[in-house]
Copies of this chain bind each other. A is one copy, B any other.
Amino acid sequence: MHDTTPQFQALYESMLTFVNTCMSGHDPSHNPAHVHRVVALANIILDAERALHPNTDYDGAVVKLAALLHDIGDRKYLHTLTAEGENETLEPTTMVRHALVKHGAPVNLASKVQTVVSHVSYSTETKNPSAIRQLIDNERLIELAIVQDADRLDAIGAIGIGRTFTFLGAQGTKFLVDGKWEMNNSIEHFGEKLELLEGMMKTETGRKMAQERTERLRIFRGWWEEEMELISASRV
């Protein structure tokens, strides 16, 4: 199914409504607005990569649908998902494929989107980086590279900073590190994960876009440390 056909447009619109419904109650770090930004970023990367590699065949339908559905089945939010009226099986490894087929997607498209969605996350990649390389380099699932980069761009820069603290607040006392619910937990997350994302970008376009946003994380962390040092220096 080509992403310029009316059939694709109808499928996309229908999945957009599905995503907006499923995720409407999520906190602003992982809500529909986040998904819409990731879709826009994926489209930007797709266009730029197509211009850079005119002989490569990119499946635009997979990029757009996987970007749209990339957080359906996210284990952090699985318990909050409200399936559309029916008693859906909330099984993260198949729920995207099921939903797509139910909304009229061809099975091969639905399966390819499910594979991308199942391998987008940072934690999935850090557990088994070679599985991701295998999919992208050997099986030529280049759409995964694009959606991963788009999702990670939304985790860095000013937007990433806002999302990190919003998530801290929204998680409540579930977000305890060493028994503490403190903003420093979020700042540690910068060095442990966010500032590493630039080095894990898979597309030339994504890597380039990540540079400035990563610099913003570093500047912000510098401000933070300066403000905190002033405080600790003044304590006797």
Contact = CB atoms under 8 A, between A and B. Distances in A.
Nearest to A171: B169
Main secondary structure of the interface of A (DSSP, over half): helix
A43 interface: yes
Contact of A234 (B28, B44, B166, B223): B44
Interface stretch (A55-63, A101-109, A133-141, A156-164): A156-164
A186 B216 CA distance: 19
Contact of A159 (B169, B216, B219, B224): B224
Contact of A28 (B31, B164, B181, B228): B181
A197 B36 CA distance: 33
Contact of A181 (B31, B165, B219, B234): B31
Interface residues of A, number: 46
Interface string A123-166: 00000000000000000000000000000000001110111111
A162 B221 CA distance: 11
A173 B80 CA distance: 14
Given A44-B234, A223-B158, A28 B170 contact: no
A183 B169 contact: no
Interface in A26-85: 27-29, 31, 33, 36-37, 40-41, 43-44
Given A40-B231, A170-B169, A182 B33 contact: yes
Given A43-B234, A157-B227, A28 B182 contact: yes
A172 interface: yes
A68 to B, nearest CB: 13
Instruction: Please name the 10 residue pairs, one residue from A and one from B, whose CB atoms are nearest each other, closest first.
Output: A169-B169, A165-B165, A169-B170, A158-B223, A166-B169, A158-B224, A40-B231, A40-B234, A165-B166, A28-B183
